[in-house]
Amino acid sequence: MQLKIKSIPHSFSGQMKLPLSKSINNRLQVLRHLYFPSVELEVSNANDSQLMQKALTALSTGNDIDVEDAGTVARFTTAVAAITNTYHGTIDGSDRMRQRSISTLVNALNEIGADIQYEDSHKSLPIKINGKNLEGGKLVIDHVESSQFITALMLIAPTFKHGLEIEFKQKPSSFKYIELTANLMLSLGFELQLSEENLIVKPVIPSTKRSLNDKNEIDWSAAVYPLLISELSPDLKLKTENSINTSLQGDSAVFAILADIKMQSESANSKPIEFDFSAYPDLAQPFICFCAVNKWAFCFIGLETLPGKETDRLFAMKTELARMGIESTTTSHSFKIETYPSAFNSDVVFETYQDHRMAMSLFLIMLKKPAYQLSDCETVKKSFPDFWKELEKLGFEFELA
């Protein structure tokens, strides 16, 4: 379904209701499932969190599990299934999920005694799991291409008889997400130590009877969109909920990142804007679109995890900006635009590649080019299912075809 902006409100001051962080919510769901089954927890309406809930339920029934396009669900469910001794089933997903490697996690689990076999390739889904009790021990991991592999191990490690120790040969990608997991678990009473060189999780299971809902947070990866909408449309003053002061999420740095990028854009020198997104990969796409529609030269680095996401985000962004007439240069870890055409192309229909962040990021460009259209707008359901509804509440009107 294609979306086109019918009208943009001339001015308003309002608030978008942001979704719960699926990153935190999915971690809390696993922790509740394993350690606090009777404790109250609100499940996010983000599709990833709904799939997480379904997967954990399926583990209890022994059914095969379809994680669809949810990488987080695939990795967390694999780890939980490996220690569920009543589970003997298959985990599979979409065609894209079958292209995304899970081998680092599977190899680590098998090394400490798990029984997981690949059904097709030796890197990705589908996989067959025979759950069993694991004793844990020590692992040495050379390269971690996804922080979720480490988080998955952390979440189940307190069940191991001997706990878990991991030595990292190099700093894992997206380390702030591993820190998020560590801080969340510490706040609930688990015992662990984390550095860029190693991780130790002790076999200690805390007891709690209080609700886990106070650990839920709004999604700061989603907060970037109302923030940048306000920047691109000065008469539209959007506010966000909650406070960044106590957030566990690295993406709560979004205000500081915006301030840095704006300061560089206003600098007297003509150097391109530079920023390292290695700690904030989910914020790269909206800021690429924000700079592009403002015609600011930039070079963003630290993007090495983007090709392995819901789509190859570097390729996708390069392709969609090319529709506008913008030439960009990409490497395995960077995205750069040095010059812009005098005028952008007209009659552009953006593709979203079934990627929620592509859809919301490209919408930022449409604020300046309202004749542009966006395909597959429903893909926002993965993280922000009410994105379009929240904008309509504030006066936006859309046409769907």
List residues with catalytic annotation.
282
Instruction: Give the residue among 286, 301, 275 at the shortest CA–CA distance from 355.
Output: 286
Instruction: Give the residue among 254, 309, 313 at the shortest CA–CA distance from 287.
Output: 254
Distance between CA atoms of 323 and 314, rounded to whole angstroms?
15
3-state secondary structure 84-145: CCCCEEEEECCHHHHHCCCHHHHHHHHHCCCEEEECCCCCCCCEEEECCCCCCEEEEECCCC
Distance set, CA 40 to CA 25, 204, 215 (Å): 12, 21, 11
Tokens of 30: 């696993």
List the beta strands (DSSP E) in 284-386. 298-301, 329-330, 335-337, 349-350, 373-374
Distance between CA atoms of 323 and 374, rounded to whole angstroms?
12
- The two beta strands, 137-141 and 198-201, are unpaired
H-assigned helices in 112-235:
147-156, 175-187, 220-232
Distance between CA atoms of 55 and 80, rounded to whole angstroms?
10
Distance between CA atoms of 365 and 353, rounded to whole angstroms?
17
Q: Give 374's Cβ-side CA count (13 Å radius).
A: 28
Find the length of the chain. Answer: 401
